[in-house]
Amino acid sequence: MKIAVCIKQVPTREWQPRLNDDKTWVRDQDVSYEMNEPDAYALEEALRLREKHGGEVVVCSAGPARVQQVIREALARGADRALHVEDDSLAAADAFTAAEALNQAMAEQQFDLILTGLQSDDQGHAQFGPVLAEKLGIPHSTIIMEVNVDGTTLRVKRELEGGWFQYVTMPLPALLTIQSGINTLRYATLKGIMAAKKKEIAKVAAPAGVASRQKIVSLYAPQKSKQTVMITGSPVEAAKELVRRLREEARVL
Amino acid sequence: MILVIAEQKDGKLNRASLETIAAAQQLQMPIKIAVAGQNVGSVASDLAQYGDVIAVDHASLAHYTPDAFVQALQQVIEQAAPALVLLPHTYQTRDFSPMLATRMDKALVTDVTAVKGSGASASFARPMFQGKLTADVQPQGATPHFVTIQIGAFRADTAAKASAPGAVSNAGITIDESKLRQKPEAPFQEAKQAVDLSQAERIVSVGRGIKSQENIAVAESLAKAFGAELAASRPICDNGWLPMERQIGSSGQTVAPKLYVALGISGAIQHLVGMKGSRTIVAINKDVEAPIFEVADYGVQGDLFELAPAIIAELSK
């Protein structure tokens, strides 16, 4: 089975954003990056499917040269090769633009199954997977917690809201967006890291003239919905003040 | 005109639909509401309190699939020719709306928490970078533009009813069943346990800041000291440190206790939608920029491993 995993490089969770001068994007030079967490679960699921059914896992990513960091990491964890649609303009791409960037190069590969995370930890559109599936003309299902392949048929467990689930069957080729927690992640071994250095990363130029579907007119720190009372002092002092306020002011104890 | 796509299941309206109507009303344009499924007549007449309704009734829509919904709604949208299509940001909308917008080659802005301005020049606020920033976004290209409204961002009870009930019309649509690729099975719940967190008066909820499974005991002791149920954010349950049934958020339970203590939870939006209705919220986090502080009544910035024992000691006094 020929499996693609679309991964995105996103700022680390610890990163504190700083705005650029016109306040429409963040200051890129301040950012440290990591693999988008739901995409890491998608990669792990692809590796498990390969172990079960054979075939290869191809990691695909759209972005500037820096995204090679997470491509190398995916190769070190066990992906066989990579496809990198490289362009500096993809650094802040919306989901539509990213899917369009990967569309042609991925169509040529004729993947049986495409996996990606259910949303990204940076822009969080939760659109990329279904958009790419529609561009490729293949069926999709989202927020998946279990993947079963039987010949050319796919049966997946889709997460619904409030603790409900549903199985859905569809033919391959297909695209799935993977929910965090579907499996337990493996980490790269030293051997994997060494092997990754020899693996192929095919670079493809981004298609020209793709217009973004979204324009960020302003980026800012969120407005508070509540007046938060910040309690300061040593742990003992803060604990004392918090408990006092919960008893006397909020009356919840 | 704005077309609101309401969501129903087995003839029951998803309340997030009313929140989406409330958001649409802020844009000061005429509104129509569409609702899709099988036998949606009674939901459609309920929705007529808010304006004219298009009932999209078809046997192929009885059990949701993205392929059938996209086929049906594309025809409804092309017939109604709205400038904007608003949908609640439910899991179902997340599944089909990107496909629908792509098939129609139109912009889609998701997870919107506020609308700014009115009419065609409106911009839409949405969280970015795990809620650390908010972006005001304008959809680009030809209309209709698709916008999904975050659950809980608007109040359902602020949706204004029309002076007289609107008209209910039936959408004339056809569905090519040979093009429906997904076959859905009946929804189910995993083996149900007795944990109903929605009834708890107090909840201590633990997040990534707890760092390891061994440290869950710290949260457990704090919950005991508060006389609270123990709950968690998604990553804790993903790691298997607490069972999934104790998860708060969009994929878990929605709660509104008297007291909600968020211990080492950053406050990703998927978590906030499950608890922001709590009466008193306490956030304990080392990162003062964490989005959880935006919904907190009381915030303590610091090391939870120092603060939790101090609070336990104080509560026992």
Total structural domains in chain B?
2
pLDDT of residue A62: 97
Chain A residues with CB inside 8 Å of B237's CB?
181
pLDDT per residue over B128-174, tens digit each? 998 899 999 999 999 999 999 998 899 899 999 999 999 999 999 99
User: In the predicted model, is pLDDT for residue B245 greater than 90?
Assistant: no
Do the Cβ atoms of A43 and A59 come closer than 8 Å? yes
How far apart, in whole angstroms, are the C-alpha atoms of residue B11 and residue A244? 48
Same domain, B55 and B139: yes
Verify whether the Cβ–Cβ distance A140 to B99 is below 8 Å. Answer: yes
- Mean pLDDT confidence for A55-63: 98
Mean pLDDT value across chain B: 94
Residues 143-202 of chain A whose Cβ lies under 8 A from any Cβ of chain B? 143, 159-171, 174, 179-181
Last residue of a domain, one of B179, B214, B241: B179
Domain assignment of residue B187, yes or no = no
Catalogue the E-assigned strands of chain A: 2-6, 9-11, 33-35, 56-63, 81-86, 113-117, 140-150, 153-159, 164-171, 174-178, 201-205, 214-220, 229-231
**Interface check A9 vs B, CB under 8 A:** no
Same domain, A176 and A110: yes
Verify whether the Cβ–Cβ distance A231 to B300 is below 8 Å. Answer: yes
User: In the predicted model, is pLDDT for residue A214 greater than 70?
Assistant: yes
- Mean pLDDT confidence for B36-43: 96
pLDDT of residue A55: 97
Domain assignment of residue A211, yes or no = no
Domain assignment of residue A213, yes or no = no
Band (pLDDT 50/70/90 cuts) for residue A37 is very high
pLDDT of residue B193: 58
**Long-range contacts (CB closer than 8 Å, 24 or more residues apart) made by B271-276:** B271/B207, B271/B233, B271/B234, B272/B131, B272/B152, B273/B150, B273/B151, B273/B152, B273/B249, B274/B248, B274/B249, B274/B250, B275/B203, B275/B205, B275/B248, B275/B249, B276/A225, B276/B152
Band (pLDDT 50/70/90 cuts) for residue A229 is very high
Distance (Å) from the alpha carbon of B163 to chain A's nearest alpha carbon: 32
pLDDT of residue B192: 61
Q: What percentage of chain B reaches a pLDDT higher than 90? A: 85
pLDDT of residue B253: 87
Report the length, in residues, of chain B: 317
pLDDT of residue B16: 93
Report the CATH number that the domain containing residue B62 is assigned in CATH: 3.40.50.620
Verify whether the Cβ–Cβ distance A229 to B298 is below 8 Å. Answer: yes
Total structural domains in chain A?
2
Domain assignment of residue B185, yes or no = no
Distance (Å) from the alpha carbon of B60 to chain A's nearest alpha carbon: 15
User: In the predicted model, is pLDDT for residue B295 greater than 90?
Assistant: yes
Band (pLDDT 50/70/90 cuts) for residue A80 is very high
pLDDT per residue over B171-218, tens digit each? 999 999 999 999 999 999 876 655 788 889 999 999 999 999 999 999
Among B164, B35, B148, which residue's Cα sits nearest to residue B101? B148
Residue in A13, A141, A250 nearest the CB of B297: A250
Chain A residues with CB inside 8 Å of B287's CB?
14
In terms of Cβ atoms closer than 10 Å to its own Cβ (0-12, 13-18, 19+), residue B115 is buried
Band (pLDDT 50/70/90 cuts) for residue B119 is confident
Report the CATH number that the domain containing residue A158 is assigned in CATH: 3.40.50.620
Do the Cβ atoms of B69 and B36 come closer than 8 Å? yes
pLDDT of residue A79: 98
Tokens of A108: 């040529």
pLDDT of residue B189: 84
Domain assignment of residue A112, yes or no = yes
pLDDT per residue over A233-248, tens digit each? 999 999 999 999 999 9
Residue contacts between A and B (CB atoms, under 8 Å): 256
Same domain, B59 and B151: yes
Among B91, B100, B101, B144, which residue's Cα sits nearest to residue B120? B144
pLDDT of residue A30: 80
Verify whether the Cβ–Cβ distance A238 to B307 is below 8 Å. Answer: yes
Verify whether the Cβ–Cβ distance B182 to A217 is below 8 Å. Answer: no
Same domain, A190 and A237: no
Q: What percentage of chain A reaches a pLDDT higher than 70? A: 100
Chain B residues with CB inside 8 Å of A40's CB?
none
How far apart, in whole angstroms, are the C-alpha atoms of residue B235 and residue B241? 9
pLDDT of residue A75: 98
Same domain, A6 and A89: yes
Residues 87-116 of chain A whose Cβ lies under 8 A from any Cβ of chain B? 95-96, 99
Mean pLDDT value across chain A: 95
User: In the predicted model, is pLDDT for residue B31 greater than 70?
Assistant: yes
pLDDT per residue over B58-100, tens digit each? 999 999 999 999 999 999 999 999 999 999 999 999 999 999 9
How far apart, in whole angstroms, are the C-alpha atoms of residue A158 and residue A179? 9
How far apart, in whole angstroms, are the C-alpha atoms of residue A245 and residue A223? 24
What pTM value is reported for the model?
A: 0.90
Band (pLDDT 50/70/90 cuts) for residue B109 is very high
Domain that holds residue A246: 226-253
Report the CATH number that the domain containing residue B291 is assigned in CATH: 3.40.50.1220
The continuous run of DSSP H or E covering B235 comes out as helix B234-238
Same domain, B204 and B134: no
**What is the strand order of the sheet B259-263 is part of?**
A229-231, B298-301, B280-285, B259-263, B202-206, B229-232
Verify whether the Cβ–Cβ distance A219 to B133 is below 8 Å. Answer: yes
Same domain, A130 and A243: no
DSSP helix/strand/coil, A56: strand
Chain A residues with CB inside 8 Å of B309's CB?
235
Among B180, B250, B11, which residue's Cα sits nearest to residue A168? B180
How far apart, in whole angstroms, are the C-alpha atoms of residue B10 and residue B43? 10
Among B254, B259, B260, B315, which residue's Cα sits nearest to residue B15? B254
Same domain, A93 and A14: yes
HEC assignment per residue over A233-245: CCHHHHHHHHHHH
Verify whether the Cβ–Cβ distance B133 to A220 is below 8 Å. Answer: yes
- Helix (H) and strand (E) counts for chain B? 9, 19
Same domain, B12 and B96: yes
Chain B residues with CB inside 8 Å of A246's CB?
259, 280, 282, 298
Verify whether the Cβ–Cβ distance A214 to B140 is below 8 Å. Answer: yes
Domain that holds residue B48: 2-179
**Interface check A211 vs B, CB under 8 A:** yes
Query: What single string gives the DSSP state of each residue in B17-61?
Result: HHHHHHHHHTT-S-EEEEEEESS-HHHHHHHGGGSEEEEEE-GGG
